[in-house]
Amino acid sequence: MSKRLTNILVPLISILLGIIVGAIVMAISGFSPVDGYIALWNGVFGNTYNIGETIRQITPYVFAGLAVAFAFRTGLFNIGVEGQLIVGWLAAAYVGYAFDLPKIVHIPLALLAAAVAGGLWAFIPGLLKAKLQVHEVIVTIMMNYIALHVVNATIATLSDGEKTEKIHETASLRSPFLESITDYSRLHWGFIIAILAVIIMWFILEKTTRGYELKSVGFNQHASEYAGMNVSKNIILAMVISGIFAGLGGAMEALGTFGNISKMTAFTGIGFDGIAVALLGANQPFGVLLGAMLFGSLKNGGLNMPNEAGIPVEIVSIVIALIIFFVASGYIIRVALERISKKKKEEK
């Protein structure tokens, strides 16, 4: 079997397997898999409203995925994307309502604030890793909790309790035009920024010397050091850039989806899903985009399964987890395919 054919077959078979096993789960639980998958499909592509909502859902996933992937490429596991996203969300929301500026300055300033907040939040674990060899996984996990509670406390101080004011119109990424073509969905211009971010990450990694150094540190720290690269500087930089992506993901929620930030009782989950998105996309910028599209579509389409087919959310979560599980385990299928083709050759 040619390599090219395998490359196309592997993802297709993985998705198909996921769908089949998901169908079995639905059938065993007494629901019609056909109705279920039609509802899932309609939830993603069924009408302009759902298409708009799906793209909105994909947007923060792209940023979360890029953040995780960027750190991975430098050999760092940034599990703190969640926390960086939350502080970015707060920063963007604050700039969004606290200042009165023309749109052309206001949106970039809010985005910048989110990027700085996310970057700073990631700078701390980066610094600790580079200077004191503290493992970034532990620090970033703890920083998530700090972010959650610091942000909740800040919201309580900034507002009269539950949530901040709504951002001004001048800071909003939403537009009447997008609302009108998608039947009042919450689709906003953030998806353009997300695509730009994908291109920027690709450019940094593939076209700049700095990107080469970052990747090199990821492959082998000691060799990079021997080659004259400043390893600790690169580690800090990688974490900060990763945090900037995460912070911008938070800005999408602040300036697009919600228009403010409310006290959170639990994590948003976007940052953690970002880990899976990055791995699905093999830590490549364009792969992350595809991974985020799969995640966002399943998430938003899944909402329609209880709605249209009466399938309980619990079953929906299982089905979606199964599809993602099989896509992520594409490696198994690749090995299986190779075995089969080898056997065939031997038989000949």
Partner 1 sequence: MKKRKIGLALSALLASGTLLAACGNDDNASDTKKDDKKSFSVAMVTDTGGIDDRSFNQSTWEGIEKFGKDNGLSKGNNGYDYLQSASESDYNTNLNSLIRRNFDLVFAVGFNLHDSVVEVAKQQKDAKIAIIDSVVEGQDNVASIMFKANEASYLAGAAAALQSKTGKIGFIGGMESDIIDGFEAGFVAGAKAANPKVKVDVQYAGSFGDAAKGQAIAKRMYDSGSDIIFHAAGGTGNGLFTEAKERKKKDPKADVWVIGVDRDQYDEGKVDDKTNVTFTSVLKRVDIAAEDVAKQSKDGKFPGGKTITLGLKDNGVDLADSHGVITSDTQKKIDEYKEKIIKGEITVPEKPEK
Nearest distance from C-beta of residue 162 to partner 1, angstroms: 6
Rounded to whole angstroms, how far apart are CA atoms 170 and 311? 41
Binding region for partner 1 (CB under 8 A) out of 83-91, 115-123, 189-197, 263-271: 263-271
CA distance 304 to 82: 26
Count of residues in the chain: 348
Tokens standing for residue 237 = 């930089």
Q: Which is nearer to partner 1, 162 or 206 (CB)?
A: 162
The number of residues that bind partner 1 (CB under 8 A) is 56
Taking CB under 8 A as the criterion, which residues in 192-221 touch partner 1?
A: none
User: Is 303 a binder of partner 1 (CB under 8 A)?
Assistant: yes
CA dist list (Å): 276 to 69, 138, 311, 340: 10, 19, 25, 29
Query: Which of 1, 12, 20, 156 contacts partner 1 by CB under 8 A?
Result: 156
Between 116 and 217, CB nearer to partner 1:
217
DSSP code for 311? -
Measured between alpha carbons, how far is 129 from 122 in angstroms, rounded to an integer? 11
Can you read off the two tokens belonging to residue 218? 């990821």
Asked if 279 interacts with partner 1 (CB under 8 A), we say yes
CB of 322 to partner 1, least distance (A): 9
Q: Are 95 and 111 in contact (CB under 8 A)?
A: no
16, 144, 198, 313, 318 from 323: Cα distances, Å = 8, 28, 24, 15, 9
> Does residue 51 belong to the site contacting partner 1 (CB under 8 A)?
no
Q: Is 150 in the site for partner 1 (CB under 8 A)?
A: no
> In this chain, which of 9, 170, 306, 334 binds partner 1, going by CB under 8 A?
306
Choose which of 1, 5, 134, 269 interacts with partner 1 (CB under 8 A): 269
Stretch that binds partner 1, among 125-133, 189-197, 229-237, 259-267 (CB under 8 A): 259-267
Q: With respect to partner 1, which residue has the nearer C-beta, 120 or 159?
A: 159
CB atoms within 10 A of CB 306: 16
Confirm or reject binding of residue 162 to partner 1 (CB under 8 A): yes
- Which residue is it, tokens 């991974």? 291
Amino acid at 172: S
Q: How far is the CB of 291 from partner 1 (least distance, A)?
A: 11
Alpha helices in the chain (DSSP H): 3-28, 33-45, 48-73, 81-98, 103-132, 136-158, 176-181, 190-207, 209-219, 221-226, 231-252, 270-280, 285-309, 313-328, 330-347
Instruction: Using CB under 8 A, pick the residue from 7, 208, 317, 341 that binds partner 1.
Output: 317
Which residues are near partner 1 by CB under 8 A?
Answer: 29, 31, 49, 53, 57, 72, 75-77, 79, 137, 149, 152, 156, 161-163, 166, 184, 186, 253, 257-260, 262-263, 265-266, 268-269, 272-273, 275-276, 278-279, 300, 303-304, 306-315, 317-318, 321, 324-325, 328
